[in-house]
Amino acid sequence: MDAFYASVEQLDNPELKGKPLIVGSRPEQRGVVAAASYEARKYGIYSAMPTSRAIKLCPTLIILPVRMSRYSEISKQINIIFYDYTPEIEPISLDEAFLDVTSSIKLFGSAEIIGREIKRRIKEELGLTASVGVAPNKFLAKLASDLHKPDGFVVITEQNKQQILDPLSVSKIWGIGRVTEQLFYARNIRTIEQLRKTPLVMLRDILGNRSEEVLNLAQGIDDREVESLREAKSISTEETFVEDVIDKEFLSTVLLNQVEQVAHRLRAGGLEGKTITLKFRYKDFSTITRSHGLSEFTNTTKVLQQGAEQVFEEWYKKYVSKIRLLGFGVSTLRAEGSGQQLLFSNQEDKKQKKIDEVLDKIRDKYGEDGLRRG
C-alpha cells in the first residue's frame, strides 16, 4: 500500500488530500513520525524522524495520532480481496503481503491479470492505491512493487530481470544497509551489475558468509516460498526504520503494535504458539534475536504482550544501542485448542480471550478507532 497510514487519514478526511501530513506523536511528547504522506515526503520527511525535525522542515505540517485499529480494519478488507484470488498469502505487515498465484492462473488468467485486478479492486472498493510487483520470486516481487511508487505496477520476468536489476544501487538488495553500502562504495561497487561481476573472494571480505546469498539476489535468484498461515512454522512481523532508533517509548509502541498484529493473525489462522522471539538489527547490520518460552500455548494478546515486554526490557538493560529494525514473532505453533487441555481453566485467561474476541469483532465491523486495550 502507498503511504498507508497517511493515505487512510486522507481517505477518512478528504480535506487532508494534497496536504503534507504525518501520523505520529507530537514534538512535545518527544514523538517521532510513524508515517508520512507523499506531500510531506517532498520536504524530506520520513518515518522514524523526530517530529520536531519534521516540523522544522515543513512548518505547515499536519500531525495526526496513530489510529491502529482503523488501519487494521482496512488491512483486513484488503486481505478479503486477496483471498478471492489465492489462499497462499504471507502477510509482512498491515500494508504489505506476498501472494503466490501459481495455482490460480488457470482460473483467473495470468499473474499480471490477477495483479491488475487486485489493484483495481483496492482502488474502487476501498479508495486507496497500491503498488504491485509481479515476479517469479519474493525478492523480485518486493523490488518491483517499490520501483514506481506510488500507484505503481511493475512486472519482472526471467527474461528482463537482469536488465532491471543491473542499473540499481546495491542498497536495493535485501540485507545491504548504509554501513555495508559504504563498504561497497569504498571499493567502487555501486550498482547491482558491479556487485554481480565482483569476484566472490572480494565479496566475502565485505559480507562474510552472506556473500553467496547476496550474489544470488544480484542475479534475481530467490528460492524462498510464500509461507501462508496454514503452513507457517512461525508468524512474525518486523519494521525497518529509515533512521536508526534508540528511543524506548517509540520502540515500545512499535512492539505493542507488532504483538497486536501477530496475535490477530494467530487467531485468524486458528493457531496458537508457545515461543516468542524479538529480533533486533543494529545500525552496523548485525542482528540478534532473543526468545522466551511461554508456560502454555496461547494466542492471547495480553499474554504475548507480557512476554514481549519481558524480553524487550532484558534487551534494553543489557544490549541497547541504536537499531534499524525491530521484529516480533511467535513459533512452536499448533492448531488452536489441540493438545492436552488443563483440567481447571484459568479464569483470567478466559477473560482475556473474551476481550480479544470482542475486540476482533468490533474492529472487523466498525474499526473502533477510539478503542484501546487497558
- pLDDT (tens digit, 9 = 90+) per residue, 175-199? 787 788 899 999 999 999 999 999 9
Q: Which residues pair with 321 in a beta bridge?
A: none
**What's the whole-number average pLDDT of the chain?**
88
pLDDT-based confidence at residue 370 (cuts at 50, 70, 90)? very low
- 81 and 125 within one domain: yes
Q: Which domain holds residue 291?
A: 234-366
- 83 and 191 within one domain: no
The predicted pLDDT at position 78 comes to 94
pLDDT-based confidence at residue 372 (cuts at 50, 70, 90)? very low
Residues labelled catalytic? 96
The pTM for the full model equals 0.70
The predicted pLDDT at position 30 comes to 65
Q: Which of 43, 66, 89 is the last residue of a domain?
A: 66
Check whether 351 has a pLDDT greater than 60. yes
- pLDDT (tens digit, 9 = 90+) per residue, 10-28? 999 999 999 999 998 777 7
- pLDDT (tens digit, 9 = 90+) per residue, 80-90? 999 999 989 98
- Number of domains, the chain: 4
pLDDT-based confidence at residue 265 (cuts at 50, 70, 90)? confident
User: CATH number of the domain that 197 lies in?
Assistant: 1.10.150
The predicted pLDDT at position 12 comes to 96
- 246 and 198 within one domain: no
